[in-house]
Structure 1
Amino acid sequence: MCEHIREFYGLPPFEDIERFKGEYTEGLIKGNPITLFRPLTYMNKSGEAVAPLVNYYKIDLQNVLVCYDDLDLPLGKIRFARSGGSGGHRGIESIIGQLGTKSFPRLRIGIGRPPEALAVKEYVLQSFWGDQLTIIEKVLDLAKDGVVCFLEKGITEAMNSYNGRIIEQ
């Protein structure tokens, strides 16, 4: 997601910030300042990267949008939320644990459940193929637009404008 936004808006390449176990870039999107940050930890330890960054810069959590893939949403659907639990997503569990709160906005990007013959771990680590690839490219465009809405108008407007939308083949 971060790379998609960075490329579309012509933001500078990502730079490593070893101190925060991640990489970032920053710039303006439609006149709004944005910092994109990607943890370089294992997904299950995302909080070890996110929390130190948020705490060091004293970032108001309402200005943090955590974007992640979600098995419990069908491929083609996105969902903004003001806060909430982890839904079993270990990366979100880590962020909640490290921040000590569930109160931060997030954007869930649906990838759907794997076919029965495929283990979840294999499914989430493989590349999209065929029709899935076409759908996910459109979903990333929709999500990108939703992130801009979040920047300009906040989480409530992003929820009202983008929740319920689904990209189908």
Structure 2
Amino acid sequence: MHAPAGLHRLLLASAISIPAAAQAAAATPLDASHDFDFEFGTWKTHVTRRLRPLTGSDQWVDLDGTSVVRKLLDGRANTVELDISGPSGRIAGVAMRLYDASARQWSIHYASRDAGQLTPPLFGRFKDGRGEFHGQDTLAGRSILVRFMITCATPDTCRFEQSYSDDDGQHWETNWIATDTRMREG
């Protein structure tokens, strides 16, 4: 039995429009305002840091301490208070993360205790459990790109990796690796 020609066109149009609609829905990111909710609390932090990034140096130092992540604005913003130290000294600072609902992405701003001003923001989002954020900054008077990635092996163990590029993103040099382990209260 053959269907009328009009029905074939309708079935064909439906077959084409369903995948197209599914693709459009998949391409539109969902509300991501709670992407950082997993991180609220206190974390033991181990940082491995390259001393002189983008100089050819491969000298690294280790620092240990804590990160305390606090929710603001019903989760649409949060702060990270970092306090780490080691033989190379102490690093203390605060990161402010803000969710832009219209762009469906986050911005990350950082201020160290010593500098007293915010760095240029990084922008990005989480996809498939991985956060990736990009921005521009300066290092030793030259313009660089910054990439910051977040992955969590478990709900209680996360890795934060920062890399710099001075050739428009053709090559990236990792300069900061932090492994955070959740501290249980009590």
Structure 1 length-normalised TM: 0.30
Which structure shows the higher helix fraction?
1
Q: State which structure, 1 or 2, has the greater radius of gyration over its C-alpha atoms.
A: 2
Structure 2 length-normalised TM: 0.28
Which structure shows the higher strand fraction?
2
